[in-house]
Chain A
Amino acid sequence: MTRRVYLDHNASTPVHPEVVTEMTPYFADVYGNPSSVHGFGRDAREGVDVARERIATFLRVPPDQIVFTSGGTESDNFGVKGLALARGRGHVITSRIEHHAVLRTVQALEAQGFTATYLPVDAYGAVDPDDVRKAIRPDTVAISVMHANSEVGTLQPITEIGRIAREHGVPVHVDAVQTFGKVPIDVDAMGIDLLSFSAHKIYGPKGVAGLYIRKGTKMVAIQHGGEHERRRRAGTENVPGIVGFGKAVEVRGREMHDEARRVSALRDRLWEGIAARVPDVRLNGHPTNRLPGTASLCYRHVESESIVLGLDLKGIAVSAGSACTSGNVEPSYVLVAMGLPLDWAMGAVRSSLGRSTTAEDVDYVVDSVAPLVQKLRQALPVGAA
């Protein structure tokens, strides 16, 4: 049987066994609606409350400032639209390398009459806080900058951005879907008013996420209906998901620091192993100020999808930085924003390591990548090589 190696933890993660155990009773035994006043409902409510407490403890914020949502995309939509629409009109600042959940939300706001500034990034994929300062206008209603991009993993200078935003009285939303539970986040020290975070990136279930909303932040709900989540997000809570999310966060509290060190060393082993055996390869993003387990590599003159296919046939799961859909290949907008030339950007492959990744896995990937890239390059047209 082919060995299987999963290096796509930034896409999703396996649910932690302790999380599965915690969730299981909430499907068939504790099935009440947490809004119901009877015992069945109260039992479910308790599960939701415990989860909220756990997450609040982890983030060091009051529990009533955590709102559960259906996923990172909803949290980002809620955060950005909630801030902007509460102010009716104005100017939004974001970066060019945000997740589409933010970028397209800002574009949707532009279609409704808001204006927007999309900040550039440097060669490492980092926003310059001075650019934020220069972009702020009297009518700026929100700043949304992610903590780290899923593709390259460079950590953004959120503390500096938060300080500048505070000086100008502009609320800050941070998409921390890729960093929550992987690197420390201090919403007070970093000046964060809203924080999106998700369960399935940290060994929790899919379909559940959260939005931290600092007390006093002027927001409007974007999903209407019942009076759930203190009237901030209508809809019956995903009780098993929320319970699992709470457990996943508790586990992260125990495991995060040790795992970050271990995974970071494995990421370095992967990069150094590949760099030693494959010519014309580069590591994207900041070399040190980055997510522990993310390695975005560009193989010059090789098309990323051919590498992903070749590795998939070896049982290895990585993701392509450029996507070919219906015969149109778009290089990653993140790498383009970082100024990478097309002949490099087209060969971007992201590996994202996690808690189950071993040194043997990494060595197997290195041993598989080197001959694959060599073979693909042998067939290259001279004009392109």
Chain B
Amino acid sequence: MRYSETLVDHFLNPRNAGLMREPDAVGEGEYAGCGDLARVFLRVRDGRVAEARFQAYGCGPTIAAASAGSELIALRPVEDLAHLKPEEVERALDGLPEDRKHAAEVVADAVRAAAGQWLSQRS
């Protein structure tokens, strides 16, 4: 299997999948190369992520990355997430094959966009 057990587990049992009603912030990441899309919803309390949900369209790794990303950002300060790097999402999946690195990028883009939206609304 070219994917890690962690990735497979997130793909088969995605955490926090689906729409969030009235979120405090929403962000999207899209990879033009293949049309993969991730959307991240945040509920924020005291500057931290109280709840995160995602929606994703794409290959298995993208769905897994969105799931892992939603766990990764739980309870973290939103200010930190404005700088979330794809490598951190990839680490949460125990690695990605070279030709699937975009999965982590799409999700990191979505998280940064959501964090950016919340921070701009606050200021």
Q: Which residues of A come within 8 Å of B, CB atoms?
A: 301, 303, 305-306, 309-310, 313, 324-329, 346, 375-376, 378-384
Whether A327 lies near B102 (C-beta < 8 A) is yes
| Interface pair A310/B35, CB less than 8 Å apart | no
Q: Is the Cβ of B18 less than 8 Å from the Cβ of A325?
A: no
Nearest 5 A/B pairs, CB to CB: A329-B34, A309-B60, A379-B17, A381-B55, A305-B59
Question: Which of the residues A324, A326, A381 comes within 8 Å of B59, measured between beta carbons?
Answer: A324
Q: Do A303 and B17 touch across chains, with their CB atoms under 8 A apart?
A: no
**Beta-carbon contact of B14 and A309 below 8 Å:** no
Distance in angstroms from A159 CB to nearest chain B CB is: 40
Q: Are B60 and A379 in contact (CB under 8 A)?
A: no
Contact B57 A380 (CB under 8 A): yes
Q: Select B14's contact among A375, A382, A384, beta carbons within 8 Å.
A: A375
Listed by A's residue number, 16 A-B pairs whose Cβ atoms lie within 8 Å are: A301-B57, A305-B59, A306-B11, A309-B59, A324-B34, A324-B100, A327-B102, A329-B33, A329-B34, A329-B59, A376-B63, A378-B17, A379-B14, A379-B18, A379-B66, A381-B55
Q: A306-B63, A309-B60, A313-B8 are in contact. Are A379 and B34 (CB under 8 A)?
A: no
Q: Specify which chain B residues have a CB less than 8 angstroms from the CB of A325 in the assembled complex.
A: 99
B56 on the A face (CB < 8 A):
yes
A346 contacts across to B, CB distance below 8 A: 35
Q: A375-B14, A381-B37, A382-B55 are in contact. Are A327 and B31 (CB under 8 A)?
A: yes
Residues of B within 8 A of A375 (CB): 14
Instruction: Flag whether B19 is at the interface (Cβ < 8 A).
Output: yes
- Residue of chain A at shortest CB distance from B19: A382
Instruction: Report if A303-B11 is in contact (Cβ < 8 Å); known contacts: A327-B102, A379-B18, A381-B39.
Output: no
CB contacts (< 8 Å) of A309 on chain B: these are 3, 11, 59-60
Q: Tell me the complex Cα distance, A156–B34, Å.
A: 32
In chain B, positions 8-50 with a C-beta closer than 8 Å to chain A are 8, 11-12, 14, 17-19, 28, 31, 33-39
- Assess A379 versus B55: contact at CB under 8 Å? Given A313-B12, A325-B99: yes
Query: Which chain B residue shows the least CB distance to A302?
Result: B57
Chain A residue nearest in CB terms to B31: A327
Instruction: State the Cβ distance, B30 to closest chain A Cβ, in Å.
Output: 10
Q: Is the CB of A306 within 8 A of B58?
A: yes
Cβ contact within 8 Å between A379 and B63 = yes
CB <8 Å contact, B55 and A327: no
Tell me the B residues contacting A by CB distance below 8 Å: 3, 8, 11-12, 14, 17-19, 28, 31, 33-39, 54-60, 63, 66, 99-102
Chain B residues whose CB sits within 8 angstroms of the CB of A310 once the complex forms: 11-12, 60
SS class, residues of chain B in contact with chain A: mixed
Chain B nearest CB from A118 CB (Å) reads 25
Taking the closest CB of chain A, its distance from the CB of B84, in whole angstroms, is: 19
- How many Å from the CB of A341 to the closest CB on chain B? 13
B28 (CB) vs chain A CBs: closest residue: A381
Check if A381 sits within 8 Å of B11, measured CB to CB.
no
Q: A379-B66, A384-B37 are in contact. Are A303 and B57 (CB under 8 A)?
A: yes
Which residues of B lie under 8 Å from residue A381 when comparing CB positions?
28, 37-39, 55-57
Q: Is A327's CB under 8 angstroms from B57's CB?
A: no
Pairwise interchain contact B37-A326, C-beta atoms closer than 8 A: no
B56 to chain A, nearest CB (A): 5
**Chain A residues with CB under 8 A of B38:** 381
Q: Are the C-beta atoms of A378 and B59 separated by less than 8 Å?
A: no
Is there an interface contact between B60 and A383, defined as CB atoms closer than 8 Å?
Answer: no
Residues of B within 8 A of A326 (CB): 33, 99
In the bound assembly, the distance between CA atoms of A324 and B31 in angstroms comes to 12
Residues of chain A within 8 A of B66, CB atoms compared = 379
Residues in B with CB closer than 8 Å to A306 are 11, 58-60, 63
Min CB–CB distance A276 → chain B (angstroms): 24
CA distance A301 to B35 in the complex (A): 11
Bound CA–CA A319/B17 (angstroms):
26
- Best-buried of A328, A346, A379 by chain B (most CB within 10 Å): A379
Given contacts A305-B60, A306-B63, A379-B55, are A329 and B35 in contact (CB under 8 A)? Answer: yes
> A344: shortest Cβ distance to chain B, in Å?
13
What residues of B have a CB within 8 angstroms of the CB of A305 in the complex? 59-60
Contact A328 B34 (CB under 8 A): yes
**B103 closest partner in A (C-beta):** A327
Q: Can you add 7 more A-B contacts, CB < 8 Å, to A309-B11, A384-B37?
A: A305-B60, A313-B12, A329-B33, A376-B63, A378-B18, A379-B66, A381-B57
Point out the residues of chain A lying under 8 angstroms from B14, CB to CB: 375, 379
